[in-house]
Amino acid sequence: MPGRWKNNLKYSDVTPQADYINRRDLIAGAGVMAAMTIAGPALAKIATVPSEYSTAQAPNTLKDITSYNNFYEFGTGKDDPAKNAHTLTTDPWAVKIDGLVDRPGNYDLGDLLSGVTMEERIYRLRCVEAWSAVIPWVGFELATLLNRVGVQPSAKYVYFETLVRPGEMPGQKRALLKWPYREGLRLDEAMNPLTILATGLYGEDLPNQNGAPLRLVVPWKYGFKSIKSIVRISLVNKQPQATWNMQNPGEYGFYSNVNPNVDHPRWSQATERPIGGGLFSKRIPTQMFNGYGDQVAHLYKGMDLSQDF
């Protein structure tokens, strides 16, 4: 198979928890740890360091982040994913990479995590969905993977799909959305170092309700852009479909950048509610690009973000 990295391990075998770096110390601020070699055939050295983009804000609690989720594949209630996602089988897991790439193929997730020389980092990032939160993700830059498979010059966008498995994802038994869940980014957005593929949070493997085993995190965009449980990544030359943009283009634009100056037709987006405080918690001002303007504003120079929302 073109481009496949040779390895017979499942992704869960790549970094056994007992042998893994104590990420909790990093999250608590212990600093940079030396790179280590993890036993196993053809495994790369993985340096675990805090990302330069990590915020100094304290993270929310693990309970907050794992018990209040949007993941319609497991139900529309905020607590449905935590109740229902245990049914999802995440190992083995394959990701189809196709389109305008030099090395397309169906890659076992273990290959993606072990065959790429990369830095695995703690990203303590601000995120905005129906609430705002600070989450210490474990992941790596999407650009690392895209560079590995070889992006062809004609590629302009990256397209993603979520798993379709109604037997394990009960929400897919209803036509709530047009399955599979789809998302897309412009190529320069995808290559930005803030755009990561997350495999964990809080120093642990990614919980099912948070998008296990592999999800996108794009912290300057609203949360629905950060597609979960990814099984396909395609490089394309035209703007791809995105589920909520397909569902209601008047309410959900393709870009979906956090923007306090552009209201949703049914509510203001000038303020946000921090997670963990309940429905009556004090709302706080929303920051343009969720506070990441220094890193991403240049991507939209000359664009009218009230039209390209």
Q: Is the pLDDT of residue 141 over 50?
A: yes
Stretch 143-161: mean pLDDT, rounded? 96
Half-sphere exposure of 130 (CA within 13 A, CB side): 12
User: Are the C-beta atoms of residues 189 and 217 closer than 8 Å to each other?
Assistant: no
Architecture of domain 11-300: Alpha-Beta Complex (3.90)
Closest C-alpha to 298, from 140, 156, 192: 192
**Residue-level pLDDT at 49:** 65
**Residue-level pLDDT at 38:** 23
The pLDDT confidence band at residue 138, using thresholds 50, 70 and 90, is confident
Higher pLDDT among residues 273 and 84, named by residue: 84
The pLDDT confidence band at residue 122, using thresholds 50, 70 and 90, is low
The DSSP line for 69-109 is: ---GGG-SSTTHHHHHGGG---SS-EEEEEESBSS-EEEEH
Question: Do β-strands 196-201 and 204-205 pair in parallel, antiparallel, or remain unpaired?
Answer: antiparallel
Higher pLDDT among residues 277 and 18, named by residue: 277
**Residue-level pLDDT at 112:** 82
Q: Look over the chain and give the mean of its residue pLDDT values, rounded to a whole number.
A: 82
